[in-house]
Amino acid sequence: MRVLLTAGPTREPLDPVRFLSNRSSGRMGYALARALLAEGHQVVLVTGPTALRPPAKAKVVPVETAEDMLAACRRHWSDCDAVVGVAAVADYRPARHSGDKLKRTEGQGLSLELVPNPDILATLAKDKGGRLAVGFALESGDGKVEALRKLRAKNLDFVVLNGPEAQGAEQASLRVFDAIGKERHLGPARKPTLAKQLVRWIFGRIPA
């Protein structure tokens, strides 16, 4: 299979030196890319900025913003058989991007206007036909209801639920739900181990 995989955070610029982003390290996405390659799949890794070395055998497409990530994914989606959305896409971006560095005005606050970013996975999965779409849901608390809502809302085949403690961590626990409500627990384990188990569970019966 040829798998389109999004990973890492996005960066939403405010001015030439500042951006809005999040704590995603990209570890889970890169571990999944490695696990897919090890099983003989091809991987197009569309990745936000991370400190990680990408797997040598992946086709790597580096991006910064959510809009760049969507454009890059659209270019590659027609050649792919599956999409796995692991990226922590910023939900909002600044409404305006200043070409000059914003100046501080002594004693005055600053309000930022934010506008919503596109939902990359939902956009791709809408027209997936028979292709496979897998998403992640990061929820605090139980999260099952919200994960299943996202599975339906984004037209996914599988949703992988994890907690906020997984962000940036070496280890995690996951719950995987499929479209008929079957659930599987994985971990706690290091992300490379979890990635192998996930790939085996989700792509196991599909030939590379």
**Residue 65 binds ligand C5P, judged by CB under 6 A:** no
Nearest approach in angstroms of CB 72 to ligand C5P is: 12
Binds ligand C5P by CB under 6 A, chosen from 26, 35, 82, 119: 119
With residue 177 as reference, give the H or E element that holds it. Answer: strand 171-178
Return the range that interacts with ligand C5P (CB under 6 A); candidates 55-63, 117-125, 180-188, 200-208: 117-125
User: Minimal CB distance to ligand C5P: which residue?
Assistant: 85
Nearest approach in angstroms of CB 115 to ligand C5P is: 12
CA 27-114-100 angle, 5° bins: 90
How large is the C-alpha radius of gyration of the chain? 18
Return the range that interacts with ligand C5P (CB under 6 A); candidates 14-22, 36-44, 133-141, 180-188: 133-141
Return the range that interacts with ligand C5P (CB under 6 A); candidates 37-45, 74-82, 132-140, 167-175: 132-140
Report strand pairing: 114-116 vs 132-138: unpaired
Binds ligand C5P by CB under 6 A, chosen from 82, 121, 148, 202: 121
The amino acid at residue 126 is K
Of 61, 7, 65, 11, give the one whose Cα is nearest residue 31.
7
Binds ligand C5P by CB under 6 A, chosen from 46, 72, 80, 137: 137
Does the annotation mark 22 as catalytic? yes
Binds ligand C5P by CB under 6 A, chosen from 5, 28, 89, 202: 89
| Residue 55, φ and ψ in degrees, nearest 5 | -60, 135
Residues 6 or more apart whose CB falls under 8 angstroms from that of 156 comprise: 121, 125, 133, 134, 135, 150, 179
Instruction: Tell me how many residues contact ligand C5P (CB under 6 A).
Output: 14
The phi-psi region of residue 49 (left if phi > 0; otherwise alpha if psi is between -120 and 50; otherwise beta) is beta
**Residue 12 binds ligand C5P, judged by CB under 6 A:** no
102 vs 128 by CB, closer to ligand C5P: 128
With residue 200 as reference, give the H or E element that holds it. Answer: helix 191-203
Q: Which residues bind ligand C5P (CB under 6 A)?
A: 6, 66, 85-87, 89, 117, 119-121, 135-137, 150
Looking at the annotation, which residues are catalytic? 22
